[in-house]
Amino acid sequence: MLNLTNRRQQRKQRNECRGSVFSVIFSEIPAGTDILVLCGDLTDTGLPEEARILAKELKAAVNIPIVAVLGNHDFHSGKQREVESILSEAGIVILNGEAREIKGIGFAGVKGFPGGYGRGTLAPWGEDLVKQFVHEAIEEALKLESALAKLRTPSRIALLHYSPIQATVEGEPLEVYPFMGTSRLEEPLNRYPMTAVFHGHAHHGSLEGRIGNNVPVYNVSLPLLRAKFPGQAPFRLLDIGPGNNGLLVQGLDKEMNRKQQREQRV
């Protein structure tokens, strides 16, 4: 019982620290921003109490529309539906194969899945578990394609947690490339007109790359932005759409628990 109590206290202290870090980061949102985008790992271990902390901080600090996808950390405790419900009730638009128009900008989003890139993409061959793994990656790609097909706006943004290309993963150890995302996610992106693609997850990857049709892909993992642009607001700022809508993008990731980008206009 003593150990359980200690663990609960430690969890409470971690959550309080996480909440204070959220407050600092959201206070750095540039004036004039129209939409805030979050690219997954909105919680550390996927617990509802962590989602409530984020929801509370967002409601207190952010008064613009927020659109997001979940990340692998949000699935860790098997309570992803409850996490999504808590965040949705706080007014955050969580995309999981859906499309949404906000202030004239179209958004399509999924979490994505691992699986590897190019010739190294895992194929559905051999054991049933391997086939199930590949099936999950294919399902995420199909959900993304379904969402993209529903968009009708001139400006179209795709949100993922896992990377659809290897270029923004480079910088990570080669051994973990297959776990950073999969080329299967790039296939639907190349079939539709896009403005930009954003993802998180690759903490030590590269800031930018391009899919096959030359659309930019941005890695907005918080650890990466902090490392590349120390002392500056950890966001990517995109001016797009009618009236130069300000789209602010952030990948929270698990590094939110560590105390440690400039705003780049494209």
Residue 143 lies in a domain: yes
Query: Distance between CA atoms of 208 and 69, rounded to whole angstroms?
Result: 19
Query: Distance between CA atoms of 101 and 62, rounded to whole angstroms?
Result: 19
CATH of the domain at 100: 3.60.21.10
Q: Which two tokens stand for residue 110?
A: 């999924």
**Are the beta carbons of 67 and 40 closer than 8 angstroms?**
no
Q: What would the mean pLDDT of 93-120 be, rounded to a whole number?
A: 97
Q: What would the mean pLDDT of 84-91 be, rounded to a whole number?
A: 97
pLDDT in tens, 254-265: 433 333 333 333
Total structural domains in the chain? 1
pLDDT of 249 > 80? The answer is no
Residue 264 lies in a domain: no
**What's the pLDDT at 240?**
78
Residue 263 lies in a domain: no
Residue 62 lies in a domain: yes
pLDDT of 27 > 90? The answer is no
In terms of residue numbers, what domain contains 154? 2-257
Residue 187 lies in a domain: yes
DSSP string for 166-194:
STTTBTB-GGGGGGTBBGGGHHHHTTS--
| pLDDT confidence tier of residue 25, bands split at 50, 70 and 90 | confident
Among the ranges given (64-68, 119-123, 257-261), the one the predictor scored with the smallest mean pLDDT: 257-261
pLDDT of 52 > 90? The answer is yes
**What's the pLDDT at 130?**
97
pLDDT in tens, 139-159: 999 999 999 999 999 999 999
| pLDDT confidence tier of residue 266, bands split at 50, 70 and 90 | very low
**What's the pLDDT at 241?**
53
**What's the pLDDT at 184?**
98
pLDDT in tens, 163-197: 999 999 999 999 999 999 999 999 999 999 999 99
Across the chain, mean pLDDT equals: 86
**What's the pLDDT at 220?**
95
Residue 73 lies in a domain: yes
**Are the beta carbons of 39 and 69 closer than 8 angstroms?**
yes
Residue 43 lies in a domain: yes
**What's the pLDDT at 138?**
98
Residue 244 lies in a domain: yes
Query: Distance between CA atoms of 218 and 226, rounded to whole angstroms?
Result: 15
pLDDT of 13 > 60? The answer is no
